Amino acid sequence: MMFSNKRFLLPVIDAVIVTACMYLALLFRFEGRIDNAHMASFLRMLPIIIFVRPAIFWLFGLYKGMWRYAGLRDLSSIIKAVTLGSVVLAAFIFFLRLPYSRGVFAIDWLLNLVLVGGERFAVRALREWRTERVKRMKRILIVGAGDAGEMILREIRSHLKSEYLVVGFIDDHRAKQGMSIHGVKVLGRRHDIPQVVKQRNIEEIIIAMPSASGKIIRDIVSICEGIEVKCRTIPGLNELIYGRVSIKEIRDITLKDLLRRAEVKMDLPEIASYLEGKRVLVTGAAGSIGSETCRQIAQLNASEIIALDYNENGLFFLEHELKKDKNSKSVSLKIALGDIKDKEKMRLIFARFQPEIIFHAAAYKHVPLMEDNPAEAIKNNINGTANLVDLADEYGGHKFINISTDKAVNPISVMGASKRMAEMLGQSKDDSKTCFISVRFGNVLGSDGSVVPLFRRQIAEGGPVTVTHPEATRYFMTIPEAVQLILQAGAMGRGGEIFVLDMGEPIKIVDLARDLIRFSGFEPDEDISIEFIGLRPGEKLHEEPLRVQGAVRATIHECIFVAEMPRVDGKRLKADVEVLKELAREGNRHRIAEKLKEMIPEYRPNVKKK
């Protein structure tokens, strides 16, 4: 039907063109002033012109060809048809004895040749331009035919339509198969990706599934690696919590995409209620967890953030970042340079700023280093925490949230034991008006000094990537997710609790290393080797699940639990801390280990590691 309509439309268009050509020929010949005699002749000839020229075009097959493939033979037919048409029209004028300038026929012939021929060859030129344009466009397949996929399609068409061509969608939902979004069809399910990529010449895949689990993302990435097609994604919902899906958010797959867990459901009103309008002190503010805590608090209407650290450069860059951030401009940011081991300096800071909420993230965290330097772990992680706990109590802070670790569960390292002691310091203040709580969680991806930056540096140097043990596993979460849960636990705490976070399933360190090598464009064991160096002092083969020690009880939040821990004798603990302080001053490694074992029965410093 459409084809027939085009066949009918072309003679109509030609009738308009040939009429316009004759009229323009008269205008050109008489320099815009057509006399009455020639105008009368033109009007008398008009029905003949409209009939004769399209009829001759039909005789020469100008309505039968596919003009997208027009060539020299078609140009020859156009010249013959236009020339014969001019001869026939001249004959009509001669037999009708109409006044007509011969120059008009010459101009009319040239105009018909240009416009009628141009009309046909324009179809071919347009088709070739569109074909070439499509060839230059990157062919995209979007995995996820939901809201995020629709927004990505819309944004590509709005901003990058000359660069990208969305060929289709992939979605596992049965009801979506064969359906279309803005004219783009759902071409199959996840297992159909290799076939679709081959048939449709796909060059890049965009995963538009912000709520998908890490397992699904890993599966899709594995499929893409098998067919050697580039794969990118949009951030997970945890990262998009304050924004929306945008073409600017499309990025390469990262490790945190492979670990992507279920969305953290935050009770923002509850969190805002204990932070809004408050003066908040964050220790270790220049570190990974401390700086992210500052960023998130800045968006929750705290009146003032006091960022405390002894890392001058880190504080400088944090201040610059938060002052530049539009979402953080409503909060007053104060920078406090100091060491938590210096109690008098800490007293000056508490006296000056009168913090109401304290997030304590300052700590030494490297297990092997603390094994070699146990006195420093005592001074910083225990004595430093004791200074802050005492001052929070003395200056009437509302809440003190101590950020702890999974290494405090049945510790075998000095670092783990020192963090368990930091928890006990808060537990001992059960008669304080300040609400002391601790939050335990495992490793965070990309934190300063963690395994991921180390692996990246080793890959950049050409390898080898060093892994402690082929079976070693750790629990991981992203920094933003960890901080969201810390803030949520802070809202829930009423005093004395040790909250433990659900870290999901453990990840093999060697798998993490292999994924990082692939993301860097290399093949593990071929381009970059992996070397197993053995467990270091204080390290476990497998970190114990955070809920393993003692009983735990559920909370209203599905990812947060409370560990039921034994009561702590505050007076005895205070005396023991003083002894530890003295031992740390002396640097007596053996006595420090003995004292920690006495204070923490579950501490096992001499466990034989395989």
Enzyme catalytic residues: 407
Could you tell me what percentage of the chain is helix, strand and coil, using 3-state DSSP and rounding each to the nearest 5?
50, 15, 35
Buried b (16+ CB within 10 A) or exposed e, 153-172: bebbeeebeeebbbbbbbbb
Residue 542 is given by DSSP the state B
Q: Which amino acid is at 270?
A: E
Give me the DSSP letters along 498-531: EEEE---S-EEHHHHHHHHHHHTT--BTTTB-EE
Can you tell me the distance from the alpha carbon of 449 to that of 447, in angstroms, rounded to the nearest whole number?
Answer: 6
Distance of CA 52 to the CA centre of its chain: 65
Can you tell me the distance from the alpha carbon of 387 to that of 384, in angstroms, rounded to the nearest whole number?
Answer: 5
The count of C-alpha atoms lying within 13 angstroms of the C-alpha of 571, restricted to the half-sphere facing its C-beta, is 0
Name every residue whose Cβ is closer than 8 Å to that of residue 131 and which is 6 or more positions away in sequence. Answer: none
Q: Which amino acid is at 305?
A: I
Structure tokens at 578: 């003083």
Contact 25, 101 (CB under 8 A): no
Calculate the alpha carbon distances from 593 to 125, 189, 191, 379, 596 in Å: 83, 57, 55, 14, 5
Can you tell me the distance from the alpha carbon of 346 to that of 352, in angstroms, rounded to the nearest whole number?
Answer: 10
Phi and psi for 432 in degrees, rounded to 5?
Answer: -85, 155
Query: Of 145, 142, 156, 138, which Cα lies nearest the Cα of 247?
Result: 156
Strand partners for 357: 280, 399
Structure tokens at 382: 């225990």
Structure tokens at 252: 């390469």
Q: Which amino acid is at 246?
A: S
Structure tokens at 370: 């603390």
Distance of CA 344 to the CA centre of its chain: 44
Task: Count the neighbouring beta carbons within 10 Å of the beta carbon of residue 411.
Answer: 27
Helices 102-136 + 36-59 axis angle, to 10: 50
Q: Which amino acid is at 149?
A: G
Contact 340, 384 (CB under 8 A): yes
Structure tokens at 458: 């080793």
Structure tokens at 334: 């104060």
